[in-house]
């Protein structure tokens, strides 16, 4: 990819749980190291081995609330009692430093980003089918039946939100999905 081509962009990657977006993204970044993966803020405590400013920016609940109150987030959400968000200043600084940046967040957050940054490119990683996704979730053997059913309901909501995305990439085969993601991003870089 041409590192010097035009204005740098923010690419937002979303997808349902179990769709393999993390695997697709990791493979893409391995092949395209000139892209930067955004670092989110969180109120949750660091897990063993996590480093502030590398894995997340760890904030206290008061610090996070202060950022909300002062409109410092491009997007934010709460999951399982912890808050997660992306600072506007961080994204702006990365783009000004000439870096294409990728933000991996949920569909709701992606749509928040699009409202504030209409130039952001939203890409949704889709399962080949709902049945395939359900089989993948079951194959993990990490969740009970009620959790799987809840996730499948969430998937339907996310697929509705995905209709507002710029692109959809189907993850039926990892190599094909990575190639399609590259095609989308290269095409957008030329714009």
Binding-site positions read 15-22
CA 180 from centre of chain: 17
Binding-site positions for ATP read 15-22
Answer for the pair 24, 174: CB distance below 8 angstroms, yes or no: yes
Residue 16 burial (C-beta neighbours within 10 Å; 0-12, 13-18, 19+): buried
Map residue 138 onto helix, strand or coil: helix
- Residue 105 CA to residue 103 CA, distance in Å, equals 6
Residue 57 burial (C-beta neighbours within 10 Å; 0-12, 13-18, 19+): middle
């Amino acid at each position: 990819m041409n590192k010097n081509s035009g204005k740098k962009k923010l690419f937002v990657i979303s997808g349902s749980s179990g769709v393999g977006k993390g695997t697709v993204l990791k493979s893409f970044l391995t092949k395209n190291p000139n892209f930067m993966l955004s670092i989110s803020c969180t109120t949750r405590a660091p897990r063993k081995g996590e480093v502030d400013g590398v894995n997340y920016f760890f904030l206290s609940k008061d610090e996070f609330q202060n950022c909300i109150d002062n409109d410092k987030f491009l997007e934010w959400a709460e999951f399982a009692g912890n808050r997660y968000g992306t600072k506007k200043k961080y994204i702006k600084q990365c783009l000004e430093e000439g870096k294409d940046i990728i933000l991996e967040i949920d569909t709701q957050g992606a749509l928040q980003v699009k409202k504030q940054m209409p130039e952001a490119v939203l890409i949704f990683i889709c399962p080949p089918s709902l049945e395939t996704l359900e089989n993948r979730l079951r194959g993990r053997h990490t969740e009970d039946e009620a959790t799987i059913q809840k996730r499948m309901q969430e998937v339907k909501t996310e697929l509705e939100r995905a209709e507002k995305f710029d692109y959809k990439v189907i993850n039926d085969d990892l190599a094909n999905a990575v190639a399609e993601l590259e095609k989308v991003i290269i095409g957008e870089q030329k714009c």
